[in-house]
Amino acid sequence: MEDSQSEQQRIIRRHHREKKELQARIQAMKNSVPKSDKKRRKQLLLDVARLEAEMEQKHQQELEKFRESFPDNGNLDSRRRERRAALERERQERITEAEMEHLASFRRDEEEKLAAILGSKNLELKDIPADGHCMYRAIQDQLVFSVTVESLRKRTADYMRKHVDDFLPFFSDPDTGNAYSREDFLSYCDDIVRSPSWGGQLELRALSHVLQTPIEVIQADSPAVVIGGEYTRKPLILVYLRYACNLGEHYNSVRPLEAGAVGGAAPRLF
């Protein structure tokens, strides 16, 4: 009995440690998503719930396996409760599988539409890692000169800080809807530099000014958006994917179907 109790305590301590590690991971995920991006925040909540449910299921299964090794015939009520909980987990798993199949269908449809759009331009997708830097990496890939992602992030944040009045009206708290204060906005700019936070149209607007180059964003279900159309250089081309990865939206680069250079000339600013 003492051995079984000691083993159970070890399992419980390990579960506690794993939960703390998961919470740290979740916090890092939350920090990587801009507060102003409601769509990604919504997807983040779904992903967090999935991760927590998966860990809860794993821990429950381990405890059930342990209890099977040390059966207690006098605890029938407890086992009945565990059985009901297992059935509920199985139901939730089936729901999750159905949702993933639905998402996969959306992805296939999006990929087919984008392939047709890009094919008409003699282009194809070029995959960019989904690591929080995807927008900046896609820009980096399009440029004809060498530049680091860190430099692109710093230039973006610097431009936004210098033009606060142009950007601040577009930022609000996703939870309360309250407009950002100047301090909130400057903190957001700090996050652009210090964290792998996703970029969006406002960051692309800043980059178009920094590079003095238009940026064309191709989408599956909407017309292409050209940011920085006041500039005359050949546009940099990005592809925006809504269903590309589990954590939300994603940016990819493009490349020609035939051999040749991608991207337009831009000033050597870095």
Which residues carry out catalysis?
A: 131, 134, 250
Residue 240, helix vs strand vs coil: strand
The answer to whether residues 136 and 152 touch, using CB atoms and an 8 Å cutoff, is yes
C-alpha 165: how far from chain center = 28
**Longest CA–CA separation in the chain, Å:** 81
User: Given the structure tokens 């890939």, which residue do they identify?
Assistant: 141
Contact call for residues 53 and 92 (beta carbons, < 8 A): yes
Cα angle: 111, vertex 114, 120; to 5 degrees:
140
3-state SS assignment for residue 231: coil
Query: Is residue 247 a contact partner of residue 197, using CB atoms and an 8 Å limit?
Result: no
In angstroms, rounded to a whole number, what is the distance separating the alpha carbons of residues 75 and 94? 29
Other Cβ atoms less than 10 A from the Cβ of 152: the count is 24
